[in-house]
């Protein structure tokens, strides 16, 4: 788990525009496939985005079964978000 990647994902989801958030949310639904060939599928990065989504919306986002299993692992091992 990379805290640095997690922090970047959190910040980008929390602070960026609607298009960026839509990309995150689409990626979470289809992970491990790529929503955009030039963008990352790094789990720690995306977990940071999930943490931001939860903070904003008070619930989990829609996720593929595979991605949800990685999120659950991160939840069990997480430290407070940045």
At 1, the pLDDT band (50, 70, 90 cuts) reads low
Domain for residue 24, yes or no? yes
Distance CA 14, CA 34 (A): 21
| Total of domains in the chain | 1
Domain for residue 32, yes or no? yes
Distance CA 6, CA 51 (A): 9
Q: For 27-69, how does the pLDDT look when each residue is reduced to its tens digit (9 = 90+)?
A: 999 999 999 988 888 999 999 999 999 999 999 999 999 999 9
pLDDT, residue 63, reads 98
pLDDT at residue 81 tops 60: no
Domain for residue 65, yes or no? yes
Domain for residue 35, yes or no? yes
Locate 26 and state its tokens: 């689409």
* pTM attached to this predicted model: 0.90
Distance CA 19, CA 3 (A): 24
Domain for residue 82, yes or no? no
Range of the domain at 50: 3-77
80 or 18: which leads in pLDDT: 18
């Amino acid at each position: 788990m990379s805290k640095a990647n997690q922090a970047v994902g959190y910040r980008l989801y929390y602070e960026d525009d609607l298009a960026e958030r839509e990309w995150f949310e689409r990626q979470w639904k289809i992970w491990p496939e790529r929503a955009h060939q030039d963008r990352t599928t790094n789990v720690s990065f995306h977990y940071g985005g999930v943490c931001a989504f939860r903070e904003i919306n008070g619930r989990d986002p829609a996720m593929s079964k595979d991605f949800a299993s990685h999120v659950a692992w991160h939840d069990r091992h997480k430290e407070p978000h940045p």
